[in-house]
């Protein structure tokens, strides 16, 4: 069986970086997001990824659509939980509105959990060869505080625990589960803050003194998805150029 990855939010940014590396390594890749199939991002992604890639439209907050998504995707060996939304409004957490909190949580945590739950059930009945894996793309914000986007930090902290829970539940079945924690990555999500972050990055906020790129995340995914680090299941992989290392 050719390894097959289902990647949420795979049509752009980090998700596309992951999809590109896996496709180049021989994976069949299925991208899932809420964007229209005829949108520029989707068309461009499929053209870049080649004939072993396809796209399924899916709204992560729609739990009723999970069954149809997985039926269309067919058997998979690798699941990458990557899709997510930023805070709707950056500002004082004391002014955070319940509807904005719920919007972020419905997608980043509630939707992500129940799709992962359904994927895990499917993986348990797949053959053990090729290697089966689940990878959760969270954020340095799972641990690092940004008071102007509290709901995003809370959702990523919850997603970090989600990865641990699935790792323990699936370890006996030989399904590897890993958490990837990107830092400041150049993507559509961060385009609006590029001008404000670039001088801070160059001044040392990120010890590597550069923006992270989607391909940086993809290169880390490949050995995890391939099974090179099976006994490290549950590991948290920081991908942030040293951003999250405590310093004096």
> Considering the domain boundaries, does residue 14 fall inside one?
yes
Q: What is the pLDDT of residues 237-247, one digit of tens each?
A: 999 999 999 99
Instruction: State residue 187's pLDDT score.
Output: 86
Residue 189 in this model has a pLDDT that exceeds 80: no
> Considering the domain boundaries, does residue 120 fall inside one?
yes
What's the pLDDT band for 11 if we cut at 50, 70, 90? very high
Contact predicate 183/243, CB 8 Å: yes
> Considering the domain boundaries, does residue 244 fall inside one?
no
Instruction: State residue 54's pLDDT score.
Output: 97
> Considering the domain boundaries, does residue 217 fall inside one?
yes
Q: Which domain holds residue 165?
A: 4-239
What's the pTM?
Answer: 0.95
Q: Which two tokens stand for residue 187?
A: 């993507």
Tell me the H-state helices in 84-209: 98-105, 112-124, 150-170, 194-200
For residue 244, CA distances in Å to 63, 144, 181, 184, 187 come to: 33, 7, 10, 11, 19
> Considering the domain boundaries, does residue 246 fall inside one?
no
Domain CATH for 55? 3.40.50.720
User: Mean of the pLDDT values across residues 32-51?
Assistant: 96
What's the pLDDT band for 195 if we cut at 50, 70, 90? confident
Please tell me the distance from the alpha carbon of residue 239 to that of residue 228, in angstroms, as a whole number: 18
> Considering the domain boundaries, does residue 43 fall inside one?
yes
Instruction: State residue 188's pLDDT score.
Output: 80
The H or E element containing residue 70 is: helix 66-73
> Considering the domain boundaries, does residue 247 fall inside one?
no
Instruction: State residue 12's pLDDT score.
Output: 94
Please tell me the distance from the alpha carbon of residue 32 to that of residue 111, in angstroms, as a whole number: 13
Please tell me the distance from the alpha carbon of residue 188 to that of residue 227, in angstroms, as a whole number: 30
User: Mean of the pLDDT values across residues 106-125?
Assistant: 98
> Considering the domain boundaries, does residue 23 fall inside one?
yes
Instruction: State residue 106's pLDDT score.
Output: 97
The H or E element containing residue 218 is: helix 214-226
- Report the number of distinct structural domains present in the chain: 1
Q: What is the pLDDT of residues 164-181, one digit of tens each?
A: 999 999 999 999 999 999
Report CA torsion sign: 105, 158, 18, 197: positive
């Amino acid at each position: 069986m050719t390894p097959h990855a289902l990647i949420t939010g795979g049509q752009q940014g980090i998700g596309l970086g992951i999809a590109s590396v896996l496709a180049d390594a021989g994976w069949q890749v299925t991208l899932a997001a809420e964007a229209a199939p005829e949108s520029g991002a989707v068309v461009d992604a499929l053209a870049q990824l080649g004939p072993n890639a396809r796209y399924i439209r899916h709204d992560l907050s729609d739990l009723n659509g999970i069954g149809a998504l997985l039926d269309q995707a067919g058997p998979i060996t690798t699941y990458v939980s990557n899709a997510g939304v930023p805070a709707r409004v950056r500002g004082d957490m004391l002014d955070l509105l319940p509807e904005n909190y719920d919007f972020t949580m419905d997608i980043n945590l509630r939707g992500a959990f129940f799709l992962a739950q359904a994927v895990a059930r499917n993986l348990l009945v797949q053959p053990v060869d090729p290697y089966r894996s689940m990878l959760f793309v969270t954020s340095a914000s799972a641990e690092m505080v940004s008071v102007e986007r509290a709901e995003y930090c809370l959702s990523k902290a919850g997603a970090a625990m989600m990865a641990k829970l699935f790792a323990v539940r699936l370890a006996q079945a030989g399904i590897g589960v890993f958490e990837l924690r990107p830092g400041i990555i150049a993507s559509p999500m961060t385009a609006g803050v590029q001008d404000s972050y670039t001088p801070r990055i160059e001044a040392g906020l990120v010890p590597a003194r550069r923006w992270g790129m989607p391909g940086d995340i993809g290169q880390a995914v490949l050995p995890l998805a391939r099974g090179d680090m099976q006994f490290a299941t549950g590991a948290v992989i920081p991908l942030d150029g040293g951003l999250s290392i405590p310093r004096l």
